[in-house]
């Protein structure tokens, strides 16, 4: 059985020129485990957000005009970040392969352009594959957004008014929506505080600032901030450029922070 699975993996790998071979074994419980220790190879074409549009038995069965799967799609979206990363820490990727650490599966993907649109065909290695040893079916995902990157190479301009500690008090659609007497955001605030140190430094090594802008090195975002005096308090309105901005092209909301 073990030899049979390794041969199957090699056949799947042969589908893409230059694809890395995926070796598989069967553990003591009879489950298939793929080799997920593949080296990282970059693939700029896959970066961005992909939204599921269909689920098919084989790549040749997909048609943009007629959906094959009649029910809800369990997998909603895949997001590929640079350097083999994803928003889910257990999911990584290398060129042509998505690696799932908990399930120990290495699922191939292939990008095709059909009717002027980019589609990703992704092997779905569920229990049908790992437990029942069936050939995987495919999710079909359509590219919905490229990763947005801001220019963070901005020269330092001092802003003595921003230096100090700021505590988050609200999260709003825009500065005009803020009312100190009525909180707009019902839930907990993810961003608790920001500390601006002198000479453009932040309280964390991955962000710096210049007058009116906070630069995040990891996300490569440049978020504007504005300080206003409102009813005797000093407030900062800070653009929150999350994945909704970098991956889905949405307009940023604003954190409202009050100076301590």
Q: What is the pLDDT along the chain (260 residues), one digit of tens a residue?
A: 443 444 344 334 334 445 788 999 999 999 999 999 999 999 999 999 999 999 999 999 999 999 999 999 999 999 998 899 998 889 999 999 999 999 999 999 999 999 999 999 999 999 999 999 999 999 999 998 888 889 999 999 999 999 999 999 999 999 999 999 999 999 999 999 999 999 999 999 999 999 999 999 988 999 999 999 999 999 999 999 998 888 878 899 999 999 99
How many C-beta neighbours within 10 Å does residue 239 have?
A: 18
| Strands of the chain, DSSP E | 24-26, 32-34, 48-56, 77-80, 91-94, 97-100, 105-114, 117-124, 137-145, 164-172, 193-196, 207-210, 213-216, 221-230, 233-240, 253-259
The reported pTM is: 0.69
Where residue 116 falls (left for φ over 0; alpha for ψ -120 to 50; beta otherwise) is left
Q: What is the pLDDT of residue 243?
A: 84
Looking at the DSSP bridge assignments, the partners of residue 39 are none
Query: What's the full length of the chain, in residues?
Result: 260
Q: Residues 6 or more apart from 6 whose CB is under 8 A from it?
A: 23, 24, 25
Chain mean position to CA 127: 25
Rounded Cα distance, 243 and 125, in Å: 26
Rounded Cα distance, 115 and 119, in Å: 10
Report strand pairing: 91-94 vs 32-34.
unpaired
Q: What is the pLDDT of residue 18?
A: 58
Distances (CA, A) of 205 to 209, 217, 238, 259: 11, 9, 18, 21
């Amino acid at each position: 059985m073990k030899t049979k699975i390794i041969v199957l993996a090699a056949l799947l790998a042969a589908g893409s020129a230059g694809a890395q071979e995926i070796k598989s074994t069967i553990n003591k419980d009879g489950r298939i485990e793929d080799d997920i220790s593949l080296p990282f190879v970059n693939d700029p074409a896959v970066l961005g957000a992909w939204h599921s549009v269909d689920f098919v038995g084989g790549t040749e069965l997909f048609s943009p005009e007629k959906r094959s799967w009649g029910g809800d799609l369990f997998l909603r979206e895949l997001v590929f970040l640079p350097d083999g990363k994803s928003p889910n820490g257990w999911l990584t990727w290398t060129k042509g392969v998505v690696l799932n650490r908990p399930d120990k599966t290495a699922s191939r993907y292939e990008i095709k352009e059909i009717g002027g649109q980019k589609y990703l065909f992704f092997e779905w290695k569920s229990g049908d594959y790992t437990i029942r040893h069936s050939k995987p079916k495919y999710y079909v995902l359509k590219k919905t957004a490229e990763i947005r990157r801001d220019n963070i190479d901005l020269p330092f301009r001092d802003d003595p008014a921003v230096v100090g500690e700021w505590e988050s008090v609200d999260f709003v659609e825009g500065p005009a929506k803020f009312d100190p007497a009525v909180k707009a955001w019902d839930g907990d605030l993810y961003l608790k505080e920001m500390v601006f140190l002198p000479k453009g430094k932040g309280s964390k090594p991955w962000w710096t600032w210049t007058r009116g802008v906070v630069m995040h090195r990891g996300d490569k975002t440049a978020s504007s901030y504005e300080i206003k005096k409102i009813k005797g308090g000093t407030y900062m309105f800070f653009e929150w450029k999350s994945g909704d901005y970098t991956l889905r092209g949405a307009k940023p909301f604003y954190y409202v922070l009050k100076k301590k």
